[in-house]
Amino acid sequence: MPELPEVEVSRLGITPHLLGQVVEKVNIHNANMRWPVPDEVYQLQGLAVNSIERRAKYLLLGCERGSVILHLGMSGNLRVVAATEPLKKHDHIEFILASGKALRLNDTRRFGACLWQQPGECHTLLSKLGPEPLTDEFTAQRVYEQSRNKKVPVKQFIMDNAVVVGVGNIYANEALFKAGIHPKREAGKVSLKRYQALVPIIKETLAAAIVQGGTTLKDFAQSDGKPGYFAQQLLVYGRKGEPCLHCEEPLKEIRLGQRSTVYCSQCQK
């Protein structure tokens, strides 16, 4: 599943091709996504894209009549291609630009979304989201206060979009390892001092992933039109049974919230 850095890299990748461009036509080839694609999306036709923003894992293409909200789901990706290029299987939605290019949403499993937000309104999917992780709103003090009396494991707590958006499974694994915090520890039993260590690590981990992904943007609109999602240097995620890079103890794997959770029993307490 694309996580926040991948979505941010997609935003950075499509921005030079879309921002300020007039959308000549909207083609909805399959409206049966996670939620039915509303007809309001056609309102983008004939208008210029005046903003391209990201909120959590949602991308918002803004125009004077409102915003198209895009979500990549579990298997989706965005491609910028020549409008004359034949459609690929699972190209469900496309925005034909005056430049002769097209932005296409391809989604094999159709868990992604294409929705509409009216001007001045906040879509229900966005209304209860917590702060962005790379902003000053996301602080250790805030997280500490929200965690009091919470018995949920800290890994699931920091993956809660009401606490902070965009800390997906990969980055929760990595950040907790770097902070030396056991993923099963109750969120309410993590001290302020440890949150003061964890929050900057979350910020650094996500920021580094975005920077690393940003180095692939030159490939965004080349042969297959896809962004070159980066090969990540992961310390624990996907390394079950391999030696810890700090102490060489074999890494363990458990399931938390139906997600794979890899950790070091020696380094994380």
Active-site pick, 3, 6, 8, 174: 3
Strands (E), the chain: 23-28, 51-55, 58-63, 66-71, 76-82, 91-97, 101-107, 113-117, 252-256, 259-263
Q: Is 239 a catalytic residue?
A: no
Burial of 84 (0-12, 13-18, 19+ CB in 10 A): exposed
Set 57, 79, 101, 239: catalytic member: 57
Q: Is 57 a known active-site residue? A: yes
137 a catalytic residue: no
Is 259 marked active-site?
Answer: yes
Spot the catalytic one: 34, 65, 150, 259.
259
Here the tokens at position 111 are 């868990």
Alpha-carbon span 21 to 13, nearest angstrom: 15
Nearby residues of 8 by Cβ (< 8 Å), 6 or more positions away: 54, 210, 213
| Residue 86, C-beta contacts closer than 8 angstroms, at least 6 positions apart | none
Residues written for the chain:
269
Residue 263 burial by Cβ neighbours in a 10 Å radius (0-12, 13-18, 19+): buried
Instruction: Enumerate the active-site residues.
Output: 2-3, 57, 259
